[in-house]
């Protein structure tokens, strides 16, 4: 690994917290929403989901958008349960990894997420990992819905780095979505694609020798 790297920028979903997009698709399918995957998947999504991710829609407006796409009788509770079904856990070993990386690097988080998922995964981490404020594990943690920017746009990467006076050429970004990795490289960062079919973040960190 390049010895000039002093900052790590991590993705959240897939890299740290387990995410299963099919669980959300199956939950909506169970309610009769047969073409949900045409609207949303890991690789692509329609403008409703893009706008929600950058905070251009409130949770109430997002839920209304889902009802317009699917069924007007869906309750907020049903929509939230389906939408949050994709969220899994953070294994304790990954929490320890984050702590170790934070001792050696300036550690930042940049996640494309939304105002329904944020409290849901914060609650999971608080309950399962005993961490009441997940953001305290990082020097800075940035959610697309809060900053109005999302990966793979260069502005999202530059926003996070500028807040800490860090330089793209001294930063390594890790993400499990190739389009985000490509975007980071175009923005001037070093970037590694975490291919979850072959390794997890612990293996990638070990392979790159990030902890020596």
Residue range(s) of every CATH 3.40.50.1000 domain in the chain: 7-19+89-208
Cis peptide before 152 (omega within 30 of 0): yes
CATH 3.40.50.1000 fits 7-19+89-208, yes or no: yes
Give pTM, 2 decimals: 0.94
Distance separating alpha carbons of residues 178 and 44, to the nearest angstrom? 12
Residue 20 has a pLDDT of 96
Give 127-158 pLDDT, tens digit per residue.
Answer: 999 999 999 999 999 999 999 999 999 999 99
Give 37-79 pLDDT, tens digit per residue.
Answer: 888 876 678 899 999 999 999 999 999 999 998 999 999 999 9
Beta strands across the sheet bearing 190-193: 140-143, 106-111, 7-10, 171-175, 190-193
* CATH code, residues 21-84: 1.10.150.240
Residue range(s) of every CATH 1.10.150.240 domain in the chain: 21-84
Q: 178-186 vs 154-162: helix axis angle to the nearest 10? A: 70
Distance separating alpha carbons of residues 112 and 143, to the nearest angstrom? 6
Residue 17 has a pLDDT of 98
Q: Summarize the confidence of residues 182-197 as an average pLDDT.
A: 98
Q: Summarize the confidence of residues 88-94 as an average pLDDT.
A: 97
């Amino acid at each position: 690994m390049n010895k000039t790297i002093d900052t790590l920028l991590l993705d959240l979903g897939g890299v740290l917290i387990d995410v299963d997009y099919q669980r959300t698709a199956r939950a909506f399918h169970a309610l009769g929403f047969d073409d949900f995957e045409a609207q949303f998947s890991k690789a692509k999504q329609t403008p409703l989901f893009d706008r929600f991710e950058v905070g251009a829609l409130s949770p109430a407006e997002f839920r209304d958008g889902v009802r317009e796409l699917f069924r007007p009788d869906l309750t907020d509770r049903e929509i939230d349960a389906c939408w949050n079904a994709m969220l899994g856990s953070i294994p304790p070993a990954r929490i320890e990894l984050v702590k170790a990386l934070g001792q050696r690097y300036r550690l930042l988080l940049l996640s494309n997420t939304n105002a329904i998922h944020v409290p849901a995964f914060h609650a999971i981490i608080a309950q399962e990992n005993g961490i009441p404020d997940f953001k305290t594990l990082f020097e800075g943690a940035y959610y697309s819905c809060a900053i109005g920017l999302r990966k793979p746009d260069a502005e999202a990467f530059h926003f996070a780095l500028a807040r800490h006076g860090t330089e793209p050429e001294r930063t390594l970004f890790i993400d499990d979505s190739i389009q985000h990795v490509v975007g980071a490289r175009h923005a001037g960062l070093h970037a590694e694609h975490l291919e979850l079919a072959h390794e997890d973040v612990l293996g990638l960190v070990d392979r790159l020798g990030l902890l020596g």
